[in-house]
Structure 1
Amino acid sequence: MKQKIAVEAIADSLKKDGRVKSIYVKGSMGREEEDEFSDVDLYCLVEEHDLTSFLQDRLQHLEAYGKLLFHDDLFIIAPQIIAVYEDLLHVDLFTVTEKTFKQKDYFKVIYDPEGKLSPFERSQNLLLSDAEFNEFAGDTGWFLFQYLKAMRRGNDLWAAEMLQHTMRNFSSVLLQRYKPERAQLGYKSLETSLPEQLVGNVKKIMGLIGPFTHQQAASEILRLIEAERGWIRSEWKDEQGNRLLDTMLSTLEGIRK
């Protein structure tokens, strides 16, 4: 696959750069789950004192694979270049130091002559922390609240958008129950991680989220959350968050009836 060819070409270029101490991939390639449509999440580790100078030279390393159609320089979890090649391969090149290494997801080592990645190998996982689970559960109730306001206002487009946010957060809550070892993946992992009936329910909801059918979608979301409510309450100890979620469920249920 072109993903592997690209990683090999870019890595060969990076290995010649003395500032690069380690090279690894995360995402689907790090988990060895990639297919022909996968993006490449390529990481290189440099020393703190080399970071600024290295960032100026990333494009020449990326061009070792081919000509770029598009690129953008941004910072999300680390300095990153989003690169799209003329063959439409998408590569994200991240630059980290030992201090900024994110201990989430699995990684596959490409180059690590000094063993700098060894201390991080035991931390590989896709689990949600307690704080992350609390945030996803809390945002489920919060976006139902935002949906209620938009629906009452008659803003159908925004109401549909708020249900999208509700489901994005609740998908991680569902994964925490049924497949916690993949919960960090959220939506991406639903079809292969949830029981078949639940996948069907989620697909039905997603098909209904739109400006003309959002109230039907909301009804199905309520049914889905209510079915899991006992488990959520046992796992989620945020009293305020639970009150908000319960209030949204009862208020929207009243409107539905």
Structure 2
Amino acid sequence: MSLTPLEFQDAIDDTVWYLYQYYWSAKRENEIWCVHLLRNSLEHFAKVLLHKYCPERAVLGLKALDKSLPTDPLNEIVHIMNCMSLETHEVAVKKLVNAFNNESDWIFANAPNKEKIRELL
């Protein structure tokens, strides 16, 4: 099932919001919370990716990625998830931000309210 424009905007906003929260959690060196926040961000980013590559499955999020994404973005997500641990979350967040940046032209071209996100980025 496809995302509505509002659901798509929410997925973008939540992806960025949890990354923003991650930044502050990392400054406090709260490793457990950092991993949790990355997981939340990735759950929402999965919907963003699916909205682009396989919109009819976008509502399913993470559970639909393995059968719905092209190889390159899927491999990026796999690498991110492999680094989501207490010891390697710094690598995961860099990879997640890079994956977001790789899609940012498309995201900002299609986001109903792109100015809302740019402030947090």
* Correspondence for 1:240: 116
Q: How does 1:48-197 map to 2 (within 5 A)?
A: 126-197=1-72
Q: CA deviation at 1:242?
A: 2.8
Aligned residues: 120
Q: Structure 2 unaligned runs (5+)?
A: none
1:200 Cα deviation (Å)? 1.1
Q: Distance in 1 between matches of 2:101 and 2:10?
A: 19
- Where structure 1 has 5 or more consecutive residues not aligned to the other structure, the ranges are 1-125, 248-257
Question: What percentage of aligned pairs have identical amino acids?
Answer: 32
- The Cα shift of 1:240 comes to 1.7
Matched letter for residue 116 of structure 2: Q
CA distance in 1, matches of 2:99, 2:110: 17
Q: Hey, what's the Cα distance between the residues in 1 that align with 2:118 and 2:4?
A: 18
Structure 1 letter corresponding to 2:59 = Q
Q: Which of the two has higher C-alpha Rg?
A: 1
- Distance in 2, matches of 1:127 and 1:234, equals 18
**2:5 touches 2:112 (CA, 8 Å); kept in 1?**
no
Q: Which has the higher contact order (CA 8 A, sep 6+)?
A: 2
2:17, 2:72 → 1: CA distance?
Answer: 26
Provide the alpha-carbon RMSD of the alignment: 0.8
Q: How far 1:237 moved relative to its partner?
A: 3.2
